[in-house]
Structure 1
């Protein structure tokens, strides 16, 4: 599938152009905010060729593309056309988790401006390397000029953030940048640096004089306030006068409030966050490093690493270095590289070997999502090896208080940013990443099985992947349920009816027992107990979904007898269901039973019987 066609399919899977509120991308992922989550078809997206996986995480839909993400995003941008005027909002019924909204907001603001930040950080690291090799003097004019270039993105960070935040909060870009200019006004910085004038009077109130250079939260909060004031003013001013009075009133109201209350508050929050993490590493450096280094891949996957950004920039501003986010990311990324190399050495499967090889180089340069989703997390044990390696490297960094002096992509190109004159910081950095890499490599080799087989498409949506045994004969699968058999197309839920989750049937229940149709493993249990994912010993992946819209019951009427990860034998009772309770609440007893990895088989044929009894009658035949 070419990029243009892939872009069309992605937009369709997200509910169409009209359902997409905001789109952006990072190094490997497309990210989207949508109006209505019900229109999004994750199952369809996960099946598309060219997609490594799709998920809803941290308040946004993420489609993992890999190294070609920018090209695919360019095609999507053409399909979406010009941005909306800022009046559209998310479906008000979808409130979501407050933390998800926070992570989504910070991610949406920082991701588009990372090229400028990373570019400046890498240049700063290169300068440190050139000085250490005595190829350039740190007192010369060339060094000073290049320092201007490398420092500019950080010193004028409020301008970059204002530009990006305006898009995220869907407000006027020029007014947002003007607010950044207010914060960065030379006279305010001069007063803050001099210390003689600590505040100015405005309508009887004090306006603190603070230095907001390199700050993060003040301008984010300022643009957030502007988005509400701008829309409010626009509603009350006649259209014929909006061009004059909307900008005037927006600045006149927002700027003083920002300077008096919001910017100082944001400054204090950033400072306290920085102090918290700095103190944490001073008090319990090895333990803090071990936990963050080991858990960093999970933190990155969930998008929680963006929560560290304000404290990271506050630390750069106050101390000139960071010893939390970027160093911990560095050891975690090298551990991921070691784990992938271990898979490359050990596996005999050619497809897995090719995928491991193709994801190794990006991981070394700090782009680990392809390695995580395509190799280590898919095979599980190498992922555990990477967590252990990262934990050891993080502990080393915590012991020696390893610092980075520039914001750069946490990969091999970031190493010059760890050079510090008169200290062992650089050698400690090498020790940490070396140990994390070697430990992850060795453990990955020891834990990885020779016979691992790669499924057709790497996908984060699949649970509990098991190496498929190649069989020449069809696989007969017993029914896990008792009831009347209906075609899958009769299911009211389009996701199942259109086969997006896989091929299978729908059973109208006459019995409340759910039994194991084969020997295998429980790989997924919905939090509300209404759905189970099973994987047979031969690699067949089955989803059993009890009723339609029964997620609304929040587990009431469902009794589980197994847990995720449990081994099962044919006939085991997995779940019992109160059918009368489901009917009394107005929900259908139609229960889809589908093979979620249908695409890995030649065909999935269902029984011709009109009715089946659990574990007594054959339900499906999987053709290899």
Structure 2
């Protein structure tokens, strides 16, 4: 079983099992669950898990932040059960209207957010290429790439119809047919020509451009379709439903959509855009301060989805002023993380801070926020202040965006209008973003933070010696098993043998009992019982993996004596396991014992033993001088 499949199985177990999952989607870094009962989820164990960055409960969703490989974990998760189908009849999750609205928006936009962001960035770069004279709008290269970049937005109602149908539990193909009708060339041409149309004498209002690139009309239409379809399924005999139900849905929804829902959706969308633009018109600087300063807070609680329709409506009207003000907020987190990289003495935090700086440049801030700035508190505050300053600058310059995309440096070409090719917006947005990045870096240095490496050093530093100097003491782990010692590089698994997971040794056990090698806390315990992670009181993170590929036994032959979060003493029994059952399954029983944060120490040394009893000293951890 792969690492991602192990994470998926573990997360599923800790959220209460598949019977507790009503639906699940993923975004750039998070698994977004809608649970039947959030009280059944083991939130503390998830937060303590090394494979989980953070857990956020907001907007009616139970969000498990995994990181940039979340899509791989999601695929493994969906292989365990078709959550979005199995629980299709589950009662809709209740909550306040805001939570329900956020849940609806995120569920509809999340599945194709990556495609939409990629198309938006491509469209922006094509505009940049035209501006710099690298190509012309009549070239084959431009035409082909622009058809991909612009096609998604032109026919956006079709994609929204499909994802909305999944959310509202209605036939997605009937919904897609409605979406196609809204953007059909005959409808678009009639709107563009300003033709007056009616349906049985009832006027049809199409607007100047019809429904291409629209958002709200199709979402409302599919929502109404879900009720219409359920009604007809109740009254139409089952043997006729395959033909009659779609026919009746079309006969009802087509006129209702064009006569009522479409115009109302357009009016509502225009109202949203006008409301935001009215606030922006009062003070672009104030709008920039608020959005730039609080954007990461909105992201943390999932509230940022509420702004997506506003941005889409603004783009439908020609340009959006909201998204440019968010770019400084995103890059400010990267600036704070870079300062942490230079300031911290922790090797582990340095690596995380540097990688997080890079991911923030590409618009992925969850690892930065949850892994670096927020746990340290002051860097997060510094980034929010810097984001507000940068947002105010961008607002003052009244920068607009003309192409949807993730908020990242790759978004900058989207700030060039296709008609005038004026690059001033791109330049001013870049300046505002640079201000936020540099200011976040400087403020982090000024505010400083409690370095976890210094705290750890203080925890293991004994009293001053007679010379007045302080000395760090090495500490010893005892063997969790009885058996034969095997060098780690002889373990039949490249992840362990290469040392990628840390330094240590392996044991070929002769007794099926695993004991605690140190005082500490159980921070990882797989549902199958085949692997245990313990963090010692000295800070060493110890992983013990019983056998190879034993997760495939699905817990058969393993008896857990502790649970995640338990405090244990050295020598406490953690797991009983059946050696013969493991061997009968054709699996190696060799058990690696590794210190996964070995880079935080000078060295991890074995004692050159060939055989070991449980409780004997067998690994020495040497702190950095």
Name the TM-score, length of structure 2 as normaliser.
Answer: 0.71
Aligned to 1:368: 365
Is 1:413–2:402 an aligned residue pair? no
Is 1:258–2:243 an aligned residue pair? no
Q: Deviations over 1:499-554 (max 9, x none)?
A: 9999xxxxxxxxxxxxxxxxxxxxxxxxxxxxxxxxxxx99xxxxxxxxxxxxxxx
Aligned to 1:444: 444
Q: Residue 25 of structure 2 aligns to a residue in which SS?
A: strand
1:430 deviates by 1.3
Aligned to 2:277: 278
1:241 deviates by 1.6
Separation in 2, partners of 1:25, 1:88: 21
1:355 deviates by 1.4
Aligned to 1:103: 102
Are the structure 2 counterparts of residues 376 and 87 from structure 1 closer, same or farther at C-alpha, using a change threshold of 3 Å?
Answer: closer
Q: Residue 28 of structure 2 aligns to a residue in which SS?
A: coil
Contact 2:329 2:383 in 1 (8 A): yes
Are the structure 2 counterparts of residues 472 and 600 from structure 1 closer, same or farther at C-alpha, using a change threshold of 3 Å?
Answer: farther
1:30-41 mapped onto 2 (5 Å cutoff): 30-41=31-42
Q: Residue 389 of structure 1 aligns to a residue in which SS?
A: helix
Aligned to 1:123: 122
Separation in 1, partners of 2:565, 2:83: 39
Separation in 2, partners of 1:65, 1:281: 35
Contact 2:22 2:88 in 1 (8 A): no
Aligned to 1:61: 62
Are the structure 2 counterparts of residues 386 and 245 from structure 1 closer, same or farther at C-alpha, using a change threshold of 3 Å?
Answer: same
1:238 deviates by 2.2
Is 1:339–2:328 an aligned residue pair? no
Q: Residue 206 of structure 1 aligns to a residue in which SS?
A: strand
Q: Deviations over 1:74-121 (max 9, x none)?
A: 100100137427751236xx5211110100110010011112211211
Q: Residue 209 of structure 1 aligns to a residue in which SS?
A: coil
1:213-612 mapped onto 2 (5 Å cutoff): 213-319=212-318, 321-324=319-322, 326-420=323-417, 421-422=421-422, 424-449=424-449, 451-453=451-453, 469-471=458-460
Aligned to 1:505: none
1:208 deviates by 2.1
Separation in 2, partners of 1:374, 1:469: 22
After TM superposition, the structure 1 stretch with the greater mean CA deviation from structure 2, 11-20 or 360-369, is: 11-20
Q: Deviations over 1:293-341 (max 9, x none)?
A: 111101112222221222212211212x2110x2122111111110101
Separation in 1, partners of 2:569, 2:3: 25
Q: Residue 470 of structure 1 aligns to a residue in which SS?
A: helix
Aligned to 2:493: none
1:137 deviates by 2.2
1:6-25 mapped onto 2 (5 Å cutoff): 6-25=7-26
Are the structure 2 counterparts of residues 239 and 87 from structure 1 closer, same or farther at C-alpha, using a change threshold of 3 Å?
Answer: farther
Name the TM-score, length of structure 1 as normaliser.
Answer: 0.71
Q: Residue 136 of structure 2 aligns to a residue in which SS?
A: coil
Q: Residue 164 of structure 2 aligns to a residue in which SS?
A: helix
Aligned to 1:201: 199
Is 1:189–2:188 an aligned residue pair? yes
Q: Residue 84 of structure 1 aligns to a residue in which SS?
A: helix
Aligned to 2:44: 43
Q: Deviations over 1:25-62 (max 9, x none)?
A: 00000111122333222223223331111221111111
1:129 deviates by 2.2
